[in-house]
Amino acid sequence: MRVKKFIVAANWKMNKTTAETLEFIKDFKLQFKPMADREIQFYPSFLSLPPFKNEMSALPIRYGAQNCSAQASGAFTGEVSAAMLKDFGCTTCLVGHSERRTLFGETNEDVALKSKALQQAGLTPMVCIGETAQQRTQGQTLEVVAGQLKAVLESIDLNTPFSVAYEPVWAIGTGKVPTFAEITEAHQFLRKQLVEKMGDIGKSIPLLYGGSVNSQNARDIESVPEVNGFLIGGASLKVASLLEIYFR
Ligand code: PGA
């Protein structure tokens, strides 16, 4: 049992108006050619999701939100539920991105509950984990990511799809990339955790790398064992740089 397709996932964060999204999509459609061994996913803002649904439905792409509520429905002003995302047409959603953990105080428990809610609604959670610079310096990287992963694995249904993105916090948006040895160590460790908890099926869970991926370093990082995809922020905002990574 192996991960089938290499995933190229675009995390747009809080970028692009509807007009800018439509412009991107127009350009993307002119240049995109689906590759059999690759999958492309988009995580735009909530308000930029409709153009994906309306303009890209003929293309083999997946799209989803960057966050959702752990609650099913009710008095939670400002929140969007997993069921609403599913109803809209999303098939996936980011959970626990480091910006949500650090800027909005999301805990491992929140991330676990959101992942569970997404699965229950029929979406694939993309669970983001990763250590801070200080944690790495103090030699706590593996312990931190193991704790983040464990919280989720204990809460979700292990027989229902999910994916994991390893994103060292210090590598996000900084241009700093871990060494190949560091990425290898983290990904092999995470794969081992998945297999220990899930058995052979743990080998089929996509393990993405994120943090300053660009068209210059993508080929090298892709060659690292157990890297099954990329979660890309900055370099996903332009069609040219995203597709350079996709086509490689
Ligand atoms: P970056 O962001 O590619 O701009 O470093 C990655 C992410 O935050 O998912």
Assign 122 to helix, strand or coil.
coil
d(CA 143, CA 119): 26
Ligand 1 center–CA 168 separation, angstroms:
10
Tell me how far CA of residue 30 lies from CA of 38, 181, 243, 244, in angstroms: 18, 38, 11, 14
pLDDT tens for 122-156 read: 999 999 999 999 999 999 999 999 999 999 999 99
Ligand 1 center–CA 98 separation, angstroms:
10
Ligand 1 center–CA 75 separation, angstroms:
32
Q: What is the dihedral of CA 96, 5, 56, 214, to 10 degrees?
A: 60
**Greatest CA separation for the chain:** 48
Which residue's C-alpha comes closest to atom 3 of ligand 1?
233
Quick one: pLDDT at residue 210? Answer: 98
R_g (Cα) of the chain, nearest Å: 17
Quick one: pLDDT at residue 2? Answer: 80
Digit-by-digit pLDDT tens for the chain (248 residues) are: 788 899 999 999 999 999 999 999 999 999 999 999 999 999 999 999 999 999 999 999 999 999 999 999 999 999 999 999 999 999 999 999 999 999 999 999 999 999 999 999 999 999 999 999 999 999 999 999 999 999 999 999 999 999 999 999 999 999 999 999 999 999 999 999 999 999 999 999 999 999 999 999 999 999 999 999 999 999 999 999 999 999 98
Ligand 1 probe mutation, 7, 43, 213, most atoms within 8 A of CB: 213
The ligand 1 atom at the shortest distance from the C-alpha of residue 174 is: 5
Quick one: pLDDT at residue 202? Answer: 97
Ligand 1 probe mutation, 103, 231, 238, most atoms within 8 A of CB: 231
Ligand 1 center–CA 77 separation, angstroms:
28
Quick one: pLDDT at residue 248? Answer: 85
d(CA 160, CA 163): 10
d(CA 157, CA 171): 30
Rounded to the nearest integer, the mean pLDDT of the chain is: 97
Q: Decide: residue 45, CB within 10 A, 0-12 exposed, 13-18 middle, 19+ buried.
A: middle
pLDDT tens for 59-90 read: 999 999 999 999 999 999 999 999 999 999 99
d(CA 242, CA 238): 6
Ligand 1 probe mutation, 95, 212, 241, most atoms within 8 A of CB: 212
Predicted model pTM: 0.97
Q: At CA 93, angle to CA 87 and CA 99, rounded to 5? A: 140
The ligand 1 atom at the shortest distance from the C-alpha of residue 232 is: 3
d(CA 229, CA 218): 10
Positions marked catalytic? 97, 167
From the list 22, 41, 185, the residue with the least C-alpha distance to 126 is 41
- Cβ contact 71:81 at 8 Å: yes
Helix then strand then coil, in percent of the chain rounded to 5, is 45, 15, 40
